[in-house]
């Protein structure tokens, strides 16, 4: 009986043990069945609990699982990529028992779509009123998933501009970072200026966020106008803006500064209010990439200003800028070796100019503002040596924009007549350029020599009566080393001042070939001035190689 009892107890124990194992079987469980995440994506952790081998799968390429399989319990990383569209999306992650496919757990992944947006890292930028040319810019990082245009207020467009940029939307609506460079100009006024820059989407979309950029610029340090102190500050500021190699010593009195002349009693044009102020200033050997500095406008007593020798001037396409045009009192102005291709339209305000030297620049044509009506007192005009480089044969070159006043005669093939009608000029230099074609004979010119002209000057022959009276006051006329061709007109061969012009050097001598391949030079160039002196009987022979009889 005892043996039977033992067997019965043992069987019961085994049976109980079997029941206990079945009750303890876990299968596959997870600690969450849903993940919600924003459009930017990210990582979420899921705890997998299992008593067997398991595998994690998904059919959605924007979801990654790590590890993707295991045995027993483990921590799974669900990596969700950033969205590509603005609509929400859903995906499934499935955890399955490898030995029993019916045993599984599904996790739903819900992701928001991207809203359309244009956002900025920095929404406010502050700049100073002045900086060196290469330092007058700032970069703005724009995060966006829509292409955009930049809108700068009209009143700020003169001092704030945006550079080129490109929005690469190569990953759907995932925001991309675009760097936009803004360039700013000098603030010459003693008041701050501000601009609110807008970023407008090119397509009609609703933006969840649209940042604006506020740009604030400091005011300039005020310069005391119409004073000696203001002049000295202006001179130093101009030298700084031009990046002059050598400026003036601030611990020296302005009276001792080189290339500066101050007004003193007894000087022509002196008035008491000009005493001690700047009459003349010369700025030379500098490096600038823009027009004349704004501080120039404060030299309101200056009689003459000289700007000469800008580094790499042949590479620039500059205009004078507006500030020099405010000095209506100027009588003499030189802007040479600067890199000019044009004069500001308001240059005509300088009506008191008597001498203008804009030689050694990059002019493609004579600036339209240069007329005798705009400059009634001008008697000396220098426009020579405006070539960026030497091109001997204009018919055999692929080079463009080479200066030398080429466009002035490119179509007409005629020397600029409006200069020949500028009666007040006593000096006109156009040497070393690319002027082409003939010199007009001016036979239809209204101004003719009259009997009164002959009677008023005993050196003029009677034969001049009725002939064109071209440049009657000229003493220096240089047009050599251009590409002029054809015949020398009679008005020039018989001009009263021809012998003063040194014509065999500064007039007759041409160079190279014109655009038609024609060799430059005049077909009737005289061998000497014998015929000229026969025409002007009694005039002394100025040729040093010719002895008077």
Among 93, 182, 96, which residue's Cα sits nearest to residue 140? 182
Report if residue 413 sits inside a domain. Answer: yes
Q: What's the longest Cα–Cα distance across the chain?
A: 175
Among 191, 220, 217, 193, which residue's Cα sits nearest to residue 125? 217
**Pair 75, 141 in one domain:** no
Among 83, 111, 139, where does a domain finish?
Answer: 111
**Pair 65, 155 in one domain:** no
**Pair 390, 507 in one domain:** yes
Among 470, 473, 445, which residue's Cα sits nearest to residue 457? 473
Report if residue 239 sits inside a domain. Answer: no
Buried b (16+ CB within 10 A) or exposed e, 497-507: ebbebbbeebb
Report if residue 337 sits inside a domain. Answer: no
Report if residue 388 sits inside a domain. Answer: yes
| Domain range enclosing 91 | 24-111
**Pair 424, 440 in one domain:** yes
**Pair 103, 155 in one domain:** no
**Pair 36, 124 in one domain:** no
Residue 501 three-state SS: helix
Distances (CA, A) of 240 to 132, 192, 197, 248, 288: 9, 21, 30, 10, 10
**Pair 397, 499 in one domain:** yes
pTM of the model: 0.73
**Pair 203, 101 in one domain:** no
Dihedral angle, C-alpha 118, 121, 124, 127, nearest 10 °: -120
Distance CA 44, CA 74 (A): 14
pLDDT score of 87: 64
Phi, psi of 148 (to 5 degrees): -145, 160
Q: Are 255 and 233 in contact (CB under 8 A)?
A: no
Among 434, 429, 470, 431, which residue's Cα sits nearest to residue 449? 470
Report if residue 225 sits inside a domain. Answer: no
Report if residue 319 sits inside a domain. Answer: no
Residue 324 three-state SS: helix
Report if residue 440 sits inside a domain. Answer: yes
**Pair 403, 528 in one domain:** yes
pLDDT score of 250: 78
Phi, psi of 345 (to 5 degrees): -55, -30
Distance CA 305, CA 449 (A): 37
CATH assignment of the domain containing 55: 2.60.40.10
- The rounded radius of gyration (Å) of the Cα atoms in the chain is 42
Task: Kindly report the length of the chain.
Answer: 549
Burial class (CB in 10 A: 0-12, 13-18, 19+), 164: exposed
**Pair 151, 55 in one domain:** no
Among 111, 143, 177, where does a domain finish?
Answer: 111
Q: How far apart are the first and last CA of the chain?
A: 175
Instruction: Provide the domain count of the chain.
Output: 3
Number of other CB atoms surrounding residue 451 within 10 Å: 11
Report if residue 136 sits inside a domain. Answer: yes
Distance CA 503, CA 486 (A): 16
**Pair 46, 141 in one domain:** no
Among 179, 199, 217, where does a domain finish?
Answer: 217
Tokens of 408: 């002035």
Question: Tens of pLDDT along the chain (549 residues)?
Answer: 444 444 444 444 444 444 444 445 667 888 888 888 876 778 989 888 888 888 988 888 778 998 988 888 888 898 987 765 666 788 888 988 888 888 888 888 887 666 788 899 899 999 998 887 888 999 999 988 888 999 999 999 989 999 999 888 777 667 788 999 999 988 878 889 999 999 999 888 888 889 999 999 999 888 899 999 999 999 999 999 999 999 888 778 899 999 999 999 999 999 999 999 999 999 999 999 999 999 999 999 999 999 999 999 999 999 999 999 999 999 999 999 999 999 999 999 999 999 999 999 999 999 999 999 999 999 999 999 999 999 999 999 999 999 999 999 999 999 999 999 999 999 999 999 999 999 999 999 999 999 999 999 888 999 999 999 999 999 999 999 999 999 999 999 999 999 999 999 999 999 999 999 999 999 999 999 999 999 998 776 655 555 444
**Pair 60, 146 in one domain:** no
């Amino acid at each position: 009986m005892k043996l039977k009892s033992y067997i019965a107890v043992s069987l019961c124990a085994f049976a109980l043990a079997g029941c206990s194992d079945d009750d303890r079987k876990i299968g596959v469980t997870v600690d969450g069945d849903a993940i919600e995440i924003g459009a930017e994506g990210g990582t979420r952790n899921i705890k997998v609990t299992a008593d067997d081998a398991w595998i994690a799968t998904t059919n959605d390429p924007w979801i990654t699982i790590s590890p993707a399989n295991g045995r027993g319990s483990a921590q799974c990383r669900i990596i969700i990529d950033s969205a590509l569209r603005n609509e929400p999306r859903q995906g499934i992650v499935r955890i399955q028992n490898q030995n029993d496919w019916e045993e599984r757990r599904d996790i739903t992944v819900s992701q928001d779509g991207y809203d359309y947006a244009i956002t900025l890292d920095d929404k406010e930028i502050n700049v100073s009123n002045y900086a060196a040319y290469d330092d007058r810019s700032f970069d703005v990082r724009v995060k966006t998933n829509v292409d955009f245009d930049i809108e700068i207020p009209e009143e700020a467009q003169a001092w704030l501009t945006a550079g080129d940029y490109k929005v690469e939307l190569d990953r759907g609506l995932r925001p991309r970072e675009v760097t936009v460079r803004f360039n700013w100009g000098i603030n010459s006024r003693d008041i701050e200026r501000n601009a609110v820059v807008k970023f407008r989407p090119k397509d009609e979309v609703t933006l969840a966020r649209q940042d604006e950029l506020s740009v604030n610029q400091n005011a300039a340090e005020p310069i005391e106008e119409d004073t000696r102190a203001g002049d000295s500050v202006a001179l130093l500021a101009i030298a700084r803006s031009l990046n002059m190699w050598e400026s003036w010593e601030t611990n020296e009195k302005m009276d001792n500064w080189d290339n500066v002349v101050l007004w003193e009693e007894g000087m022509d044009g002196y008035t008491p209010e000009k005493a001690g102020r700047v009459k003349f200033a010369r700025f030379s050997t500098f490096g600038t990439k823009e027009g004349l500095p704004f501080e120039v406008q404060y030299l309101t007593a200056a009689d003459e200003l000289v700007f000469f020798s800008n580094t790499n001037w042949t590479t620039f396409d500059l205009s004078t800028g507006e500030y020099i045009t405010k000095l209506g009192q100027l009588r003499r102005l030189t802007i040479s070796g600067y890199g000019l291709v044009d004069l500001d339209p308001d240059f005509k305000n300088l009506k008191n100019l008597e001498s203008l030297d804009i030689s050694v620049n990059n002019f493609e044509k004579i600036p339209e503002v240069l007329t005798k009506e705009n400059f009634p007192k001008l008697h000396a005009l220098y426009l020579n040596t405006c070539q960026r480089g030497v091109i001997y044969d204009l018919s055999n070159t692929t080079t463009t924009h080479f200066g030398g006043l080429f466009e002035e005669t490119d179509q007409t093939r005629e020397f600029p007549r409006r200069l020949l009608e500028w009666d007040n000029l006593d000096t006109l230099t156009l040497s070393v350029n690319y002027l082409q074609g003939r010199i007009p004979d001016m036979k239809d010119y209204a101004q003719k020599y009259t009997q009164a002209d002959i009677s008023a000057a005993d050196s003029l022959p009677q034969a001049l009566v009725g002939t064109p009276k071209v440049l009657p006051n000229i003493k220096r006329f240089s047009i050599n080393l251009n590409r002029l061709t054809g015949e020398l007109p009679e008005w020039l061969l018989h001009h009263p001042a021809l012998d003063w012009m040194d014509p065999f050097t500064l007039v007759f001598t041409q160079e190279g070939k014109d655009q038609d391949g024609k060799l430059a030079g005049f077909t009737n160039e005289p061998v000497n001035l014998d015929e000229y002196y026969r025409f002007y009987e009694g005039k002394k022979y100025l040729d040093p190689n010719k002895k008077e009889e």
